[in-house]
A and B are shown apart, each in its own frame.
Chain A
Amino acid sequence: MNISPSTPILVVDDYQTMIRIIRNLLKQLGFEDVDDATDGTQALEKLRKRKYGLIISDWNMEPMTGYELLKVVRADDSLRETPFIMITAESKTDNVVAAKKAGVSSYIVKPFNAQTLKAKIDAVGEP
């Protein structure tokens, strides 16, 4: 799926500071259409109302985690093709393997830098 500066992006994180960080980085990378949600449940509501070209999600959130959101997205015919980048402090191998099995497009461990975010967005946007 091609990702361009006009691609709508949904950022999902329960920490407002983290949402602001990712929003600011995306803005610096040229992305203009960025929306946000504070957990998987709220994200799903938004995903079913609007077509997003990229989901960037945290893992640990309540009531629905980013991992659960990923599984729901991949099981939904209308959402399954949406690139999904997990940005999380969860760096244990079990977590990475579980996310991979669930169909994550890319996985960024916190703390991360702008170059890493750009590289992962470019990679998932490649045809």
Chain B
Amino acid sequence: MKSRTTPPPRKPTSGTRPAGPAAATSPNRPSTADAPPDGALLVREIGAAADYLRRCRQELASLGANELAKDRIPAASRELDDIIGDGAEFSHAIMMAAERVMNASEDDPAAYRALVHEAITSIIVQCAFQDITAQRAQRVRGALDTIERRLARLATFVATREMPDIVDFSAPDATIVEPKAGPAPRGQGNDQASIDRILAGPDRS
């Protein structure tokens, strides 16, 4: 039978400090006996708070709010407008070709055949809209991916929510979509005649 040892003397309660926010949340909370004086602990907590605020500022800065507001979001908005415009334009052209066939006279079989051939060719060509609108949509998706990743990084840092399985923080923005690639905004870029002139012109250095 173990003999009961004499219990250690109780630590005095006077002179110990009340637990502060840092002490309450820190896994390395020092024992009361090791606790630094009040002033030193306060300085440490203020330092930790300042460091947290500094990192918050860095995360907020990494959002690139100005770039998002001035460039990416308006560009994505323009792309959506162009997708709508392209869809309307190509649909109109396809409808026009179909109506030419519907309204054509069949009295002259050769002329009718030629008209149908021309209309089918026109419809085939207009189907290229899928390629063009898909490239525009990819750029919109790229902008949304960028915004999502930046917001998720911030949200995760401030611990309002966690999305590490959804968002790959390691991927830099530019690797998802090259925003300069693909069709130019409607009304910009060169038409076929301008391109022919560039190709026929002198070499540019």
Q: Residues on A close to B: CB < 8 A?
A: 13, 15, 17-18, 20-21, 24-25, 28, 60, 89-93, 96-97, 100-101, 104, 106-114, 116
Does chain A have a CB within 8 A of B190?
yes
The CA-CA distance from A89 to B199 in the complex, in Å, is: 16
Residue contact B198 to A96, C-beta cutoff 8 Å: yes
Residue contact B191 to A109, C-beta cutoff 8 Å: yes
Mask: chain B, 112-150; 1 = CB below 8 Å from A; 0 = not: 000001000110111111111011000000000000000
The A-contacting residues of B in range 87-131, CB under 8 angstroms, are 90, 117, 121-122, 124-131
A-side contacts of B129, CB under 8 Å = 111
Residue contact A90 to B183, C-beta cutoff 8 Å: yes
Nearest B residue (CB) for A105: B199
Does chain A have a CB within 8 A of B9?
no
The CA-CA distance from A21 to B125 in the complex, in Å, is: 6
Residue contact A114 to B125, C-beta cutoff 8 Å: yes
Select one of A17, A28, A60, A91 contacting B130, CB under 8 A: A17
The CA-CA distance from A109 to B128 in the complex, in Å, is: 11
A-side contacts of B191, CB under 8 Å = 91, 109
B-side contacts of A91, CB under 8 Å = 183-184, 189-191, 195
Does chain A have a CB within 8 A of B70?
no
Residue contact A21 to B182, C-beta cutoff 8 Å: no
Select one of A89, A92, A100 contacting B132, CB under 8 A: A89
Nearest B residue (CB) for A99: B199
Does chain A have a CB within 8 A of B28?
no
Select one of B125, B182, B190 contacting A25, CB under 8 A: B125
Nearest B residue (CB) for A106: B199
A60, chain B: closest CB distance, angstroms: 6
Residue contact B121 to A93, C-beta cutoff 8 Å: no
Does chain A have a CB within 8 A of B5?
no
A-side contacts of B124, CB under 8 Å = 21, 24-25
Residue contact B128 to A18, C-beta cutoff 8 Å: yes
Does chain A have a CB within 8 A of B174?
no
B-side contacts of A104, CB under 8 Å = 199
B-side contacts of A13, CB under 8 Å = 131
Residue contact A28 to B126, C-beta cutoff 8 Å: no
The CA-CA distance from A112 to B121 in the complex, in Å, is: 11
A64, chain B: closest CB distance, angstroms: 14
Q: A92 and B125 in contact (CB under 8 A), knowing A17-B130, A110-B131?
A: no
B-side contacts of A89, CB under 8 Å = 131-132, 135, 182-184
Residue contact B192 to A17, C-beta cutoff 8 Å: no
Residue contact A110 to B128, C-beta cutoff 8 Å: yes
Does chain A have a CB within 8 A of B43?
no
